[in-house]
Amino acid sequence: MTRWLRLTLLGVGAMNSPRFAPAGLLLRCCGHRVVFDGGPGADPPPRPLDAWLVTDEQAELRSALRRGAIARGVRIRAGDLQLGGIRLRCLPVAHTSHPAHGYRIETGGRVVVWAPEFWEFPAWAAGADLMFAEAAAWDRPIRFRGGVGGRATV
């Protein structure tokens, strides 16, 4: 059976960006729905969620995230999750001032990484098929599986 992994960016900005909603991602696969991060203006569509995962449990937006998650019957948390054939691994990233995480999403032999905030490139993200990362300070392309890579500015 083919597993279609659908990823939708809910926002691409920093917390107080005047132009963009906070970085957030909606994962849909095999009838499951999981939100990563987000915040005001980057809320998921009003449908049931399996989980709302965060990369920074000390983020300034945690109160807004908590309210959004409660309204959808889930709680925000950082941690691993297994949903059928989808494995979500919460892994540490080097952050500037406190512990933070990224996620390695594995399904159907593919790997996607959600790591919107890190100081040093996480070794566990190497070889991903697709990576969502804040890379404004990178001065060179990030290489992925097959030797391809790059970065996009918004």
Question: In the prediction, which pLDDT does 86 show?
Answer: 92
Which regions of 14-129 does DSSP assign to beta strands (E)? 24-29, 32-37, 51-53, 76-77, 81-83, 86-93, 100-107, 110-115
Burial (Cβ within 10 Å: 0-12, 13-18, ≥19) of residue 63: exposed
**Residue 36 in domain:** yes
pLDDT in tens, 99-117: 889 999 999 899 999 988 7
**Residue 153 in domain:** no
The answer to whether the CB of 117 falls within 8 A of the CB of 97 is: no
pLDDT in tens, 5-17: 899 988 777 666 6
**Residue 154 in domain:** no
CA distances from 90 to 48, 104, 154 (A): 22, 7, 26
Q: Give start and end residues of each alpha helix (H) in 2-94.
A: 62-71
* Residues 6 or more apart whose Cβ sits within 8 Å of residue 1: none
CA distances from 108 to 29, 87, 105, 129, 146 (A): 11, 10, 10, 12, 17
Residue with tokens 């939708």: 8
Lowest mean pLDDT among 43-52, 90-99, 136-145: 136-145
Give me the domain span that covers residue 23. Answer: 6-147
pLDDT in tens, 39-68: 888 888 888 899 999 988 877 788 888 988
Total domains present in the chain? 1
- pTM comes to 0.82
CATH code at 23?
3.60.15.10
